[in-house]
Amino acid sequence: MENNNNVLPKREEIDSTYKWRLEDIYNDNELWEEDYAKIKKLMAQISGYKGKLSDGADVLLDFFRDFEELVSLNEKLFVYARMRRDEDNANPVYQAMTDRAMMLSTQVYAAVSFMVPEITKMDEHTHNGYLEMDKLKIFTQYFKEIRRRANHILSEREEEILALSSEIGNTSSDIFTMFNNADIKFPTIKDEDGENIELTKGRYKKLLESVDRRVRKDAFHGLYSSYYSMKNSVASMLSANVKRNRFYSSLRKYNSSLEASLDEDNITISVYDNLINTISNKLDLMYRYLELRKRALKLDSLHMYDVYVPIVDKPVDNIPYEKAASMVKEGLNPLGNTYAKDLEKAFSNGWIDVCENRGKTSGAYSWGSYLTHPYVLLNYQETVDDVFTLAHEMGHAMHSYYTNAAQPFIYSEYKIFVAEVASTVNESLLVRHMIDNSEDIKFKAYLLNHYLESFRGTVFRQTMFAEFEKIIHGKESDGEALTSELLCSVYKDLNRKYFGQGVVIDDDIEIEWARIPHFYNSFYVYKYATGFSAAASLSEQILNGSSGAVDRYLNFLSSGSSSCPLELLKKAGVDLTDPKPILDALNVFEETLDELENYI
């Protein structure tokens, strides 16, 4: 799938077999334009309900029908434009369409911004009377969530202004996206064979896994030299995003940006702090793992560019995408026949964009709209890690697929707090399948190492990110300027804390914050760690054949936001109001570490 001369291919050079089929959304751009015009008309229609939501049950029901049509169509329009741009961020046609879709979305949410304030102001008699009617009972949870946050809802005019400001508010994130995916350039380095290879974000992780330490070091310094050259500009982008968060949280009468963000999922700050404190108290496990890594690699000192190379020889590499898909399907068989059939549908019907190409958005994600099936973007590099990334993103995709099939539009967007559970369950099931079905001791050891790395990246690393976000938001709120020097200093200190004295904290690591896109979706990353803990429990229940475990899990995948996330997880079999799941996950990490130490 990759050019022999190691030059990143253009989009048109990629075989269509490995491209997603966005024609399932719009067969051509003219159909997109037709819906663009339709949305304009629907906005005018929806404005006719302003001030009338208390006029009767039929009026409210008609409003929600029109609301669903408008917002779901707008979502479809935006998803198409943005995913087309993600194919090649340098394509001016889809740059323009994405900009137009973003502006239209701002107008749409401004047009419906009267809804929440009107529902909030309904007198209790009217509110309860509506929900007692059979045709409106479906909105019970939706109304409950709106009224729970009533103290943070502003007037109709203020809500409209905030909605209109969202495009400006997203500017820092949009600028970073273009910088990080289209504009930043990386140097050429020598690969293991001494051949020139263009350094890209997609290739970076693979190069850090090279057995040649010189390649790892060159890739590490090469990548971060590019970010260093733009450190002041990127600091301004991140600082602007932090200021944005403080602005919106303050207007909504929250005490902090953190409180405002967590309240969206009905989560208290104590849950966030508990994660940081629990992990901080168990960093001895991280240090022990890193010491094992140093011994296994036979190094006198462990540098930051040594922390990704496998400490067991890779018995499997260069895995064709077709083989990866087969491995994922087999690994997820414990989820039953229905899940298997729906998963096959995803692999066979153009849901997945596989290969890296010039200008393509980096990383991986699952996305889509309520009116279409989900999609998955990959930058597949034929490594074992990429196989697990495929399983991970398919977990997200199937979660969306089942939720959209079972829930009305108002409950179709599951909360971010539960978003990482389905993806991590898939990874857990896959790694167990691969270990259980291998007779190769070295491969088992490699998979144990992979699991520990997944844990390190998902729990320890994301918790470090979460602590970084809390610190910099706090400093900005206290009036400190988020200069590149301050950001680098805070980030380097956290690396010292999380990696310990046994690792050389290379100076270049201090600029890593400049390449992390999640920092523009603030206070998101802690959910990877809590989601990992929940997934560890659910996957054990599924694999152990616990009575009803699969059915409970599939019901969870189909629930969307029909209840608060903590309640949905309780019904599935995990209680995250208690620190126990995090401690249980850390115990699994320790047991896995014990097992790996026996092999090395």
Is residue 84 within 8 A of residue 22, CB to CB? The reply is yes
Structure tokens at 511: 């600029």
**Can you give the length of the chain in residues?**
600
**Conformational region of residue 159, where left means phi above 0, alpha means psi within -120 to 50, and beta covers everything else:** alpha
CB atoms within 10 A of CB 115: 19
What's the number of CA atoms in the CB half-sphere (13 Å) around residue 517?
15
The tally of CA atoms less than 13 A away on the side-chain side of residue 590 is 11
Tokens 């997934």 correspond to what residue? Answer: 535
Q: What one-character DSSP code corresponds to residue 19?
A: S
Angle at 278 between CA 274 and CA 281, to 5 degrees: 140
Bridge pairing between strands 188-190 and 196-198: antiparallel
SS (H, E, C) 311-378: CCCCCCCCCCHHHHHHHHHHHCHHHCHHHHHHHHHHHHCCCEECCCCCCCCCCCEEECCCCCCCEEEC
| Cα distance between residue 416 and residue 434, in whole Å | 29
Cα separation, 562 vs 181, whole angstroms: 36
The amino acid occupying position 468 is: F
Q: In angstroms, what CA-CA distances link 434 with 150, 325, 440, 443?
A: 49, 13, 11, 9
Query: By three-state DSSP, how is residue 353 classified?
Result: strand
Q: Is 453 exposed, middle or buried (0-12, 13-18, 19+ CB in 10 A)?
A: buried
Residue from 413, 414, 421, 422 nearest 342 by CA: 422
DSSP state of 266: T
- Cα separation, 184 vs 200, in Å, equals 10
Integer Cα distance of 364 and 378 in angstroms: 5
| Residues 18 and 353 sit within 8 Å (Cβ to Cβ) | yes
Catalytic annotation present for 393? yes
Say which residue the tokens 């004295």 belong to.
501
* Local structure of 114: helix, strand or coil: coil
Q: Is the dihedral of CA 331, 337, 340, 344 positive or negative?
A: positive
| Strand duo 503-504 + 302-303: pairing | parallel
Torsion angle defined by CA atoms of residues 501, 504, 507 and 510, in that order, rounded to the nearest 10 degrees: -50
Contact assessment for residue 279 and residue 460, using Cβ atoms and an 8 Å cutoff: yes
* Residue tagged active-site, from 393, 420, 427, 512: 393
Q: Looking at the annotation, which residues are catalytic?
A: 393
